[in-house]
Chain A
């Protein structure tokens, strides 16, 4: 492992952060949508296409063996990163959404029946709602929604009360993309396991902010995407306990996921290949491996302290602006600052901030039920990564004041 980097030195590793937008230095506060890529990742993908490009797993030639080694090495890097007990418990997917769909599809074929229930929460992203609605529609199971309080925290007692013998799975976000709320993952697993219920965490918004240890969490499934953790788009990870992955049916059929095929009877391949039909995103997997290499050079405690510092400072500054309300005020929050203004529309704020070189996200953030719960149509959201700085927050706050002055 390389020596640990000072967190403030990380900025220079990300070429996109050097860009000028509308003549002004980019302030990138849209990390919740996707994170920027370090040079290391960009170079690794480039190198793969320049020197190693070939199809994996079936080739006897050198290129194919090189590419296969790099791809499988990336799997081992992920295994170590999330502390998965077994390499074959790490399944490559297209991303978080794909991982959730894989599990929802598997559950709907033999593990969910009429009268069964799946428990999610009120703060879920659409990608952890719609796959379960489809599974429930197909099987006759019911979707149960655990409520949150006005601060945007899961009401734990209400969640626990929803769990029963009918509950076949809890699928819940680890960190809310809109609110930043960090859910009490270990407590969720504890009460679910007390009733013998497996747990899936949507880790899309957690892996860029914290070290995730799937053995410590003891969850059955943990899904996340590569692009929010400084890797490429189109690649993600499903971690699943082997006993579960063994019994779930395959998601897609095709090459690589089979041992033998005949028209009478096809034998599926072993894990992880059983869930990886077709030529995978090889460059993406290898690029994600490079992103893990990069993450191994930073100290997660330092990341946490730095991002919490940014969040605290930004929160204090923004609350001094008249008319601003923060959406999501949980005690335990990741670096996400969602806000609304009582007179200015989030679209207008986002448009003017863009003119000033500041990238934030506006809208419902694919959490429409959460918007209905808060009785709003959308928010403006600034989301931070470890490469962001206090100075950028100053620029953001000054720009926000200017935008509001123009709008009001």
Chain B
């Protein structure tokens, strides 16, 4: 599936939630289900620091197809990471660079990707794109 298709599927999933608590319970469960990174990978090099929560990110390139692994100490942040990883993993570096993640806005989680939150997610998205840029060269 393309980034667009995965995004649309997620937007449809979120439309089923009737109130905020269903939505957040789902994000929390995504966070809990996302594999935690090994302690050995949670290095200073891989950290994306936020004032509120911390994020760790690694990426690998397999013939122009990108795979990310990420983690956070806060479970809601980790749940949103799970969404981002779901959308971007297995996609081409070029497609990742061209996507502006409007689906986050559509599912009502825009505030989590605002610099004001300082939860590490804005910097993480930038870092994901930086990796994609490096892999596309």
Look across to chain B and name the residue whose beta carbon is closest to the beta carbon of A344.
B75
Q: Mark A353-376, 1 if CB is under 8 A from B, else 0.
A: 001000000111000000000000
Are A355 and B24 CB-contacts (below 8 A) given A347-B74, A347-B119? Answer: yes
Cβ-closest 5 pairs across A and B? A345-B74, A347-B74, A347-B53, A347-B52, A363-B51
- B87 CB-CB contact with A under 8 Å: no
Q: Are B24 and A377 in contact (CB under 8 A)?
A: no
Chain B: residues with Cβ within 8 Å of the partner, total of 17
- In angstroms, Cα B20 to Cα A364, docked, is 27
Are A351 and B51 CB-contacts (below 8 A) given A406-B25, A406-B28? Answer: no
- A348 CB-CB contact with B under 8 Å: yes
Q: Are A355 and B74 in contact (CB under 8 A)?
A: no
**B28: min CB distance to chain A, Å:** 6
- In angstroms, Cα B83 to Cα A30, docked, is 30
Q: Are A345 and B24 in contact (CB under 8 A)?
A: no
**A365: min CB distance to chain B, Å:** 9
Q: Are B54 and A351 in contact (CB under 8 A)?
A: no
Are A364 and B75 CB-contacts (below 8 A) given A406-B21, A406-B28, A407-B28? Answer: no
Are A352 and B24 CB-contacts (below 8 A) given A345-B75, A362-B52? Answer: yes
* Interface set, chain A 370-408, CB cutoff 8 A to B: 377-378, 406-407
- B92 CB-CB contact with A under 8 Å: no
Residues of B within 8 Å of A344, CB to CB, are 75
**B122: min CB distance to chain A, Å:** 14
- B76 CB-CB contact with A under 8 Å: yes
Residues of A within 8 Å of B7, CB to CB, are none
- A22 CB-CB contact with B under 8 Å: yes
Chain A: residues with Cβ within 8 Å of the partner, total of 17
Look across to chain A and name the residue whose beta carbon is closest to the beta carbon of B73.
A345
- In angstroms, Cα B74 to Cα A362, docked, is 12
Q: Which of B25, B73, B75 has the most CB of A within 10 A?
A: B75
Q: Which of A347, A352, A362 has the most CB of B within 10 A?
A: A347
- In angstroms, Cα B112 to Cα A350, docked, is 12
**B39: min CB distance to chain A, Å:** 16
**A142: min CB distance to chain B, Å:** 28
Q: Are A348 and B51 in contact (CB under 8 A)?
A: no
- B127 CB-CB contact with A under 8 Å: no
- In angstroms, Cα B74 to Cα A378, docked, is 11
Are A355 and B75 CB-contacts (below 8 A) given A347-B53, A363-B52? Answer: no
**A359: min CB distance to chain B, Å:** 14
Look across to chain A and name the residue whose beta carbon is closest to the beta carbon of B23.
A355
Question: Can you list 26 A-B contacts with CB-CB less than 8 angstroms, sorted by A residue number?
Answer: A344-B75, A345-B73, A345-B74, A346-B74, A347-B52, A347-B53, A347-B76, A347-B77, A347-B119, A348-B28, A348-B74, A348-B75, A348-B77, A351-B24, A351-B76, A351-B112, A352-B24, A355-B20, A355-B24, A362-B52, A363-B51, A406-B21, A406-B24, A406-B25, A407-B28, A407-B75
Residues of B within 8 Å of A352, CB to CB, are 24, 76
Q: Are B51 and A364 in contact (CB under 8 A)?
A: yes
* Interface set, chain B 111-128, CB cutoff 8 A to A: 112, 118-119
Residues of B within 8 Å of A377, CB to CB, are 54, 73
Which of B24, B25, B76, B118 touches A363 (beta carbons < 8 Å)?
B118
Q: Are A348 and B76 in contact (CB under 8 A)?
A: yes
**B68: min CB distance to chain A, Å:** 21
Residues of B within 8 Å of A407, CB to CB, are 28, 75
**B71: min CB distance to chain A, Å:** 12
Residues of B within 8 Å of A406, CB to CB, are 21, 24-25, 28
Residues of A within 8 Å of B112, CB to CB, are 351
- In angstroms, Cα B118 to Cα A377, docked, is 14
* Interface set, chain A 202-240, CB cutoff 8 A to B: none
Residues of B within 8 Å of A345, CB to CB, are 53, 73-75
**A404: min CB distance to chain B, Å:** 11
Q: Mark A180-202, 1 if CB is under 8 A from B, else 0.
A: 00000000000000000000000
